[in-house]
Amino acid sequence: MSLPANKRILSGMRSTNPKLHLGNYEGALRNWVDLQDQGYEMFCMVADWHALTTMFDKPQEVAYNSREVAKDYIAAGIDPEKSAVFVQSDVKEHAELHLLFSMMTPLGWLERCPTYKDKKQDLGSAEREPYGLLGYPVLQTADILLYRPYGVPVGKDQAPHLEIGNDIAGRFNSLYDCEVFTPYKYMIPEDESRATLPGLDMRKMSKSYDNGINLSDSDDETAQKIKSAFTTPTKIRKDDPGIPEGCAVCQYLKLYSPDWETQWDEDRQGLRGCMQNKKELIEVINEKFRPMRERRAQLDEGEIDRILADGAERARAVAEETMRQVKSAMGLR
Ligand code: ATP
Ligand code: MG
């Protein structure tokens, strides 16, 4: 495949937890590494301001998590020589563009957003709902458009935000009669089980639900988690038939086990029990993620500081140029 002229790619993860999980990896990070290795120019952001929408009372934890998330990027194969690894709040242009977009984004677009409706429901009362939650997709749009990227590799849950982003880009261009922004591509895994990886409880695997297997979990932690994972509720004895589509353990086997088709067939026919599935899954997952875990354990703290400072500088160079174009289009000083 020949590369497009603009090879910039932007994506990020919220630093709501010090550890990324397999869903973050399958939905997004794995594609970042592939794109980097194909020669795309990657901007890998740690979204600390986004984390504050739900952790505004724990800013120090967010700051700690941000460094840890950067370590997971690198352990997973992001090469800081090739790709910019940076923290959102180190590049102030994200806040500036967010403010300008917030002036021109219709409220209806944000109130209709399904992820906003879900989070709002979780919070219960409007009194407890922070202003920043509604504006989340506007900040995300600023994050993306600052880099005028070719594409944005994310999991499927981000699709509604990506749409709002391209709509804001179109609105900006038409309001100020310019072509500062071009639509970016949504790079969501085609394989449904990677696009939305289920958690150990079969809800979406999420940092904030604590229902995931983390990239940097130890062999023992992984084993403990898999032992308590959700399986077919009606499969009580070994010879009861299973329903692999609804079983977290079978979903992970499909991703990581070369023998998953046989394992699924035997599960369906009641020829194997959940314990055997779990035992085999523990082995393949620990095997697969061992090199990443070892790389992460060897990362040097001082090195991370240098990587983040250098990444922010590279990000700022593109972000500053975008802000020049934005202000010029708007006729601002
Ligand atoms: P939080 O609960 O704090 O929102 P999260 O686990 O949803 O955490 P995000 O930081 O919101 O993670 O998302 C980072 C990236 O990981 C995004 O590209 C998102 O689409 C992707 N992602 C998150 N969860 C999954 C999942 N279960 N399956 C596939 N991709 C996922
Ligand atoms: Mg999320």
Mean pLDDT of 241-264: 97
Q: Are residues 184 and 138 in the same domain?
A: yes
Q: Are residues 229 and 92 in the same domain?
A: no
pLDDT at 1: 59
Q: Are residues 146 and 227 in the same domain?
A: no
Q: Are 221 and 244 in contact (CB under 8 A)?
A: no
Ligand 1 pocket check: which of 24, 72, 187 to mutate, most ligand atoms within 8 Å of Cβ?
A: 24
327 pLDDT tier (thresholds 50, 70, 90): very high
Share of the chain above pLDDT 70, in %: 100
Is the CB of 189 inside a 6 Å radius of any atom of ligand 1? no
- In a domain, residue 277? The reply is yes
Q: Which domain holds residue 225?
A: 219-295
Q: Are residues 182 and 117 in the same domain?
A: yes
- The domain that holds 254 is classified in CATH as 1.10.240.10
311 pLDDT tier (thresholds 50, 70, 90): very high
- In a domain, residue 210? The reply is no
- In a domain, residue 208? The reply is no
Whole-number Å distance between alpha carbons of 193 and 13 = 19
Q: Are residues 100 and 45 in the same domain?
A: yes
Q: Are residues 34 and 130 in the same domain?
A: yes
Q: Please, which residues have CB within 8 angstroms of residue 166's CB and are 6 or more apart in sequence?
A: 183, 184
Ligand 1 pocket check: which of 157, 162, 203 to mutate, most ligand atoms within 8 Å of Cβ?
A: 157
Whole-number Å distance, alpha carbon 209 to ligand 1 midpoint, is 11
**Paired strand residues for 14:** 47
Q: Look at ligand 1, atom 22, and give the residue with the nearest C-alpha.
A: 24
Query: Can you give the pTM of this predicted structure?
Result: 0.96
Q: Are residues 84 and 158 in the same domain?
A: yes
| Sheet with strand 8-14: strands edge to edge | 84-87, 41-47, 8-14, 151-153, 185-187
pLDDT per residue as tens digits for the range 9-62: 999 999 999 999 999 999 999 999 999 999 999 999 999 999 999 899 999 999
Share of the chain above pLDDT 90, in %: 92
Q: Please, which residues have CB within 8 angstroms of residue 202's CB and are 6 or more apart in sequence?
A: 230, 246, 248
Whole-number Å distance between alpha carbons of 50 and 57 = 13
Q: Are residues 171 and 249 in the same domain?
A: no
Is the CB of 318 inside a 6 Å radius of any atom of ligand 1? no
pLDDT per residue as tens digits for the range 49-96: 999 998 999 999 999 999 999 999 999 999 999 999 999 999 999 999
- The domain that holds 95 is classified in CATH as 3.40.50.620
- In a domain, residue 212? The reply is no
- Positions annotated as catalytic residues are 119, 204, 207
Q: How many domains does the chain have?
A: 2
Is the CB of 23 inside a 6 Å radius of any atom of ligand 1? yes
Whole-number Å distance, alpha carbon 23 to ligand 1 midpoint, is 7
The DSSP code sequence of 71-113 is HHHHHTT--TTTSEEEEGGG-THHHHHHHHHHHHS-HHHHHT-
Whole-number Å distance between alpha carbons of 272 and 178 = 62
Q: Are residues 279 and 162 in the same domain?
A: no
- In a domain, residue 149? The reply is yes
pLDDT per residue as tens digits for the range 187-232: 999 999 899 999 999 999 999 899 999 999 999 999 999 999 999 9
Q: What is the number of the ligand closest to the CA of 12?
A: 1
Q: What is the number of the ligand closest to the CA of 153?
A: 1
